[in-house]
Amino acid sequence: MLRKTPFETVQKVLIISFLAIACMCCLLILIALLLTLSTKINIHDWDLLAFIGSIIGGFITWLGVRITILEQKKDKEIELYYKDIDVLYFIVQDTQFIINVPSYEITKNDAEGKLVVDEYETLQMQLDFTVDFIEIINKKLSDLMKSVEWEVFRVIDIEMKNLAVAKVFAERFENYYSREGSDNMKMRIKRYLEIAGSIHSRLSEYKDTRTDKYLQAKFPKTRQQNQ
């Protein structure tokens, strides 16, 4: 649950106090006005004064209710952004590794003792990392559905379905490697890593967008000054 800062609590108390004082001031001004004019006003004119007083009182009440509603709306908006960021932050952090996987290599010594890239082991490792990425996203897919806009989730869902076949290749990597050869497997795994990287970038960008909206809603004056 999102906790309010001491500043926000004091701010709300001050707003309520201001409204209460404003109502009292208006009431005192109205009473003073009536006392001043009481000797000059005909008894039949009191209905008009009562009507004017009700309008003033109604306006003050409307103003107080409106401010309260706007504050509640702002609080709900901030809490919604906070929940979205909470989900997105941990997913982005847990999948950060996928960005560097294309550059991972496993080396070995060849017949001449030189250090060379072991393509089989390297491709298998990259594929295993891709599967780890898939499993992390799949575990959080229901949370993502609630935390991102439908258009964004739909794109991620499609990309995840395209990426799902990587698990099949990982389970039977040796067979597929023998059948397709090094170059074909290299292209296939490169494509999987591109899809995974695209998903990660999309989630990271969306997290940053929600963070900006959260900060704008929570600290509007500070954001305006910084801009």
For 173-188, the pLDDT digits (tens) are: 999 999 988 899 999 9
Please give the pLDDT value at position 49.
Answer: 57
pLDDT of the residue at 22 = 67
φ, ψ (nearest 5 deg) of residue 164:
-60, -30
Count of alpha carbons within 13 Å of 101, Cβ hemisphere only?
26
Distance CA 47, CA 92 (A): 67
pLDDT of residue 117: 87
Q: Give CA 217 to chain center in angstroms.
A: 12
Q: What is the pLDDT of residue 3?
A: 46
**DSSP conformation class of 115:** E
Per-residue pLDDT of the chain in tens (227 residues, 90 and over written 9): 444 554 455 566 666 666 666 666 666 666 666 656 556 555 455 565 566 666 666 776 777 777 777 777 787 888 888 899 999 999 999 999 999 999 999 988 888 888 888 999 999 999 999 999 999 999 999 999 989 999 999 999 999 999 999 999 999 999 999 998 889 999 999 999 999 999 999 999 999 999 999 888 888 765 545 55
pLDDT (tens digit per residue) in 119-153 = 999 999 999 999 999 999 999 999 999 899 999 99
The predicted pLDDT at position 79 comes to 85
Residue 198 corresponds to which tokens in the numbers above? 């695209």
What's the pLDDT score for residue 2?
Answer: 44
